[in-house]
Amino acid sequence: MDFFVLGLKDVKIISYEQNYGRLEIVLEKTTSCETCPSCQARSKSVKNYREHRIILNPIESIQVQAFIRKRCFRCLNPSCQTKYFTEQIPGLEKKHIYTEQFKSFLADLYQDMDFPTIKRRLSKKYLLDVPIGTLHSKLKDLPKESLLVKYPIQTKYIGLDEFSYTKGHNYAVALIKIGHSQDPKSKIIDMVAGGKTTAVAKAVLNSVDPISVEACCMDFWEPFKTAVKEKLPNASVVADKYHTIKLINDDIQTLIRRILPALSQYDKELLEENKFLILKGRERLDDNQSYDLQTTILINNELETIYVFKEQFRSLYLIKNIDIAR
């Protein structure tokens, strides 16, 4: 029977302990004998043990420090030139501390990130400090998936968004492939610097096949809409959830400012105290907040109507079936 512990075959945990918030484990091979690499003779005679640190596949938010306890065996063949040999662990290359599974994990990250970003991800998410030099030595010879992609990319759904890549107002436009039921993985296709203008948006849209794109999700930025209409004439323009709900919440706050002066002093104080509950999603309220919300929206008929509309509109995003949503 084969045993696997965090990517290593035929090993077992022989001890573990919590040390300053870190989980320390010691591993050892499960087999009782080993084969001499020179003469292939089997041996159970152990000379000594050696422990050294290894890097396993990381676990999110848990810092694991692992050690492998290797045995040094005596070769029992008197004619063999090798007197002693150290057992090898499947999944851990000789004289290496990084397991093969961890290297594969790094390779997956490398498809979408550069070395500094991988280092930050490992440190922040997995509490693991890996030098950039080590990342370079492990990954430098691997091809980047982005270099293998044939442009233009064929995809049904895309997204456009701007981001600031330095402090200040140095903007770039990102093009995202949005996952769906047949292809659930979303990923960044391309990024173009130069501001959040129509020209930059049109440049980044050159990365996709205009015939294959059915819809493009974006905010209400007019230059993006212009670029999509010109480059993707057959695609529907879809406003993203965040900016759509923000637009409704802006209208709610405008209504509150309009009706506030005409309210009684008691209703004014009640609305001022609980207006954030009207902007918050219903599912995020506790029982007391739900009671306060119901009391508050009954102050004004318009306020109650627009709140009910907002929550009904938000419920559309929870529907998985497109036909039902329509």
Side by side, which strands form the sheet with 170-177? 187-193, 170-177, 157-166, 215-218, 236-239
Question: pLDDT tens, 229-256?
Answer: 999 999 999 999 898 999 999 999 999 9
**Alpha helices for 95-240 (secondary structure H):** 100-110, 115-126, 132-139, 145-148, 198-204, 222-231
Tokens of 147: 């270099």
Cite the beta strand spans of the chain per DSSP E. 4-5, 8-9, 11-19, 22-29, 34-35, 42-43, 46-54, 64-74, 84-86, 157-166, 170-177, 187-193, 215-218, 236-239
Domain ranges of the chain: 4-102, 103-145, 157-239, 242-318
pLDDT at 11: 86
**Residues in the chain where the model's pLDDT stays below 70:** 1-7, 60-61, 141-150, 166-168, 325-326
Residue 44 makes CB contacts below 8 A (sequence gap 6+) with: 32, 33, 73
Please state the pTM of the whole predicted model.
0.52
Which class is domain 157-239? alpha beta
Question: pLDDT tens, 78-103?
Answer: 999 999 999 988 888 887 888 888 88
